[in-house]
């Protein structure tokens, strides 16, 4: 099978690419615009595979998408390309409207034209898998409520509203045109190759540098944490085994307050990289760096996923607990300074020049 992955140089997309190349016999065509969050170093471990190809292109460019579909003749599309940082969407929503809504529309139209001309056997097997977020549901106010696949949409930020819009477009293209689509909505991901603006890598790297560890408000916002490699496994299972027209929620069964997450990272850092080894006084704890900052506008309080459907129907469960996944994540950042240092100093973007960006 040939899988066209959009956004395959991003955090979740690169995990999908690595999973497909390392764990299956399928081929990948990775389409990524290489914006600030795209990093070809995240797929460097599989880039030499004869089952991997990279194309630097913008999903909003309809002509380019038509050329790439015709050139590579994919069997399925896994659409992960998206602007995804809530704070950035508040400061500048235009890029989110363009990429997440217009880009998804362009892909849907390109896929529809391509799909309708396929031979019947390939047409029947084709899938358009749209990867979305639990943030489209808004937030939960009860302590026991969970997002299900039928929870009404109530997005709070420009980011989540743009993702909700793209979800609606995908479902409309199935209802109106018969395009065989599947939608997944995931909880907060964490793990290796995560761009340092997000909470967990930001805390790890600030802790390493002895910088303040910023926590919004009281830090009592609750998220369900999903290890990115578990997510990649789930996505592959959905695109190969899922039912057309269905939605699957993917969660990690790990509800934690943000402040709990920060303290857990501090404890791991105290164990794995004590501050005294970096010139701080003996017995200095990383938790002493925690700094509470003004909460962001419209900050959702609680997300939590009911992932029973994908377990029941497709047999997927996360392998990592939050404790095992977080330990692996912290250790990965300690062991892979070359990757994150290139992000922090901007030198990773020189790779874009090599791709003709």
Active-site annotation, residues: 134-135, 159
Task: Provide the CA 234 distance to its chain's centre, in angstroms.
Answer: 13
Give φ, ψ of 249 to 5 degrees.
-85, 135
Q: Which of 117, 111, 115 has its CA nearest to residue 125?
A: 115
> What burial class does residue 87 get, using C-beta atoms within 10 Å of its C-beta: 0-12 exposed, 13-18 middle, 19+ buried?
middle
CB neighbours (10 Å) of residue 199? 21
Q: Terminal CA-to-CA distance of the chain, rounded, Å?
A: 29
Give me 82's structure tokens: 């998206």
Whether 51 contacts 26, CB under 8 Å:
yes
Sorted by sequence, the CB contacts under 8 Å of residue 102 that are 6+ apart come out as 60
Longest CA span, the chain: 70
């Amino acid at each position: 099978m040939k899988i066209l992955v959009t956004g395959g140089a991003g955090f979740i997309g690169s995990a999908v690419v690595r999973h497909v190349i390392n764990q299956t016999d399928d081929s990948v065509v990775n389409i990524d615009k290489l914006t600030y969050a795209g990093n070809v170093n995240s797929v460097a471990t599989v880039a030499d595979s004869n089952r991997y190809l990279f194309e630097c292109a913008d999903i909003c460019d309809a002509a380019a998408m038509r050329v790439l579909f015709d050139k590579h003749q994919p069997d399925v599309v896994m659409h992960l390309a998206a602007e995804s940082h809530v704070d950035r969407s508040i400061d500048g929503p235009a890029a989110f409207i363009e990429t997440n809504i217009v880009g998804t529309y362009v892909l849907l139209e390109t896929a529809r034209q391509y799909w309708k001309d396929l031979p019947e056997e390939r047409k029947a097997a084709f899938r358009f898998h749209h990867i979305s977020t639990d943030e489209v549901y808004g937030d939960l106010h009860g302590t026991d409520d969970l997002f299900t696949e039928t929870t009404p949409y109530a997005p709070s930020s420009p980011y989540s509203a743009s993702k909700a819009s793209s979800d609606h477009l995908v479902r409309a293209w199935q209802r109106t045109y018969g395009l065989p689509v599947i939608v997944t909505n995931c909880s907060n991901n964490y793990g290796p190759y995560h761009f340092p603006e997000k909470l967990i890598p930001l805390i790890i790297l600030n802790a390493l540098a002895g910088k303040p560890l910023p926590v919004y408000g009281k830090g009592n916002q609750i998220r369900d944490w999903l290890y990115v490699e578990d997510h990649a496994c789930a996505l592959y299972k959905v695109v190969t085994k899922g039912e057309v027209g269905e939605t699957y929620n993917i969660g990690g069964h790990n509800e934690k307050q943000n402040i709990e997450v920060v303290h857990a990272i501090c404890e791991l850092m105290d164990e794995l990289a004590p501050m005294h080894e970096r010139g701080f006084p003996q017995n200095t704890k990383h938790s002493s760096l925690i700094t509470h900052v003004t909460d962001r506008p419209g900050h959702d309080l609680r997300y939590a996923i009911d992932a029973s459907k994908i377990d029941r129907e497709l047999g997927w469960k996360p392998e990592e607990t939050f404790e095992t996944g977080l330990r692996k994540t912290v250790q990965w950042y300690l062991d892979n300074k070359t990757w994150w240092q290139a992000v922090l100093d901007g030198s990773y973007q020189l790779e874009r020049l090599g791709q003709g960006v």
